[in-house]
A = this chain, B = another copy of it.
Amino acid sequence: MTEVKPELHTSLSPALLDLYHLEHAVVVIIDVLRATSTIATALSNGARCVIPVDSVSKCIQLGKQIEGITAGERDGKIAEGLSHGNSPFEYPREFIANKTLVLTTTNGTKLLHMALEKGASRIVTGSFCNLDSVCRFLLAEKRPVILGCAAWKDRVNIEDALFAGAVIHNVKDDFSINCDSSQIAETLYQSGKKDLFEFMKRNRASHFRRLMGFGLEKDIRYCLSLNQADVLPFYEDGKLVVQKSK
């Protein structure tokens, strides 16, 4: 008997998430520049957990209540009232180990909360920093998968689609993929994988240009390199924690 493979779909924007069935599925939240890269990095460096919140005011309030590190940016600057920004380089082990990071981001947090509301069975976060962990988890779970790109204010972006393509490239033999968005994402990754930074530059990726304008080339290069923080952030009870390998 042939084994029935679980389905894999890619949602290129939160505005398209409604088209997919999230119940019983693993949803991978993808916000490569920089939320999900920073989450993997903080957890990899020993943060106790990361609590994603959807506004600066909630971040401030919760930060006080639990004595957590508050972090978030608006327009490329640390948001007023918070102590840290979105750069993964702000969270080395000597700073973040055993602390709780309360992080507010716009696109990634919105998508995570949408996935929760729509009844996703498992929610994890993905970025090039933890590509291998994400792929291992998806292969082990053997459930339907939705690769959810956080995009930018609902506009499709290159970097999140590229990461979806990288995951697909790695796991496709174990899934049934009847999804044009997934095929497009993988084609994109095939075109760019030799040098993701150069690919983003050549294609004038909008968020690439925004961050370059803020002088953040180092952040971009880090966020586009593979498995620098190879843990699996797993969402449970309102927070992201490291999922231990089975």
A187 beta carbon closer than 8 Å to chain B: yes
B206 touches A180 (CB 8 A): yes
* Residues of chain B contacted by A178 (CB below 8 angstroms): 204, 206, 209
Asked if A212 CB lies within 8 Å of chain B CBs, one says no
Is chain A's interface secondary structure helix, strand, loop, or mixed overall? helix
Contact (Cβ within 8 A) A156 B177: no
Is A106's CB within 8 Å of the partner chain B? no
Q: How many copies does the complex hold?
A: 2
- Pair A180/B205 contact, Cβ less than 8 Å: yes
Q: Is A155 an interface residue (CB 8 A)?
A: yes
Interface residues in A3-17 by Cβ distance below 8 A to B read 12-13, 15-16
For residue A158, CB closer than 8 A to chain B, the reply is yes
Please, which residue of chain B has its CB at the minimum distance from the CB of A202? B183
User: Which of these, B15, B181, B203, B209, contacts A187 with CB under 8 Å?
Assistant: B203
Q: Is there a chain B Cβ closer than 8 Å to A23's Cβ?
A: no
Q: Is the CB of B183 within 8 A of A203?
A: yes
Residue with the greatest number of chain B CB neighbours at <10 A, chosen from A19, A177, A192: A19
Q: Give 1 or 0 for each of A200-217: 1 = CB within 8 Å of chain B CB.
A: 000111110100000000
Contacts of A177 in B (CB 8 A): 204
Q: How far is the CA of A127 from the CA of B124 in the complex (A)?
A: 39
Given that A19-B155, A154-B16, A156-B12 are known contacts, is A205 also in contact with B183, CB under 8 Å in the complex?
yes
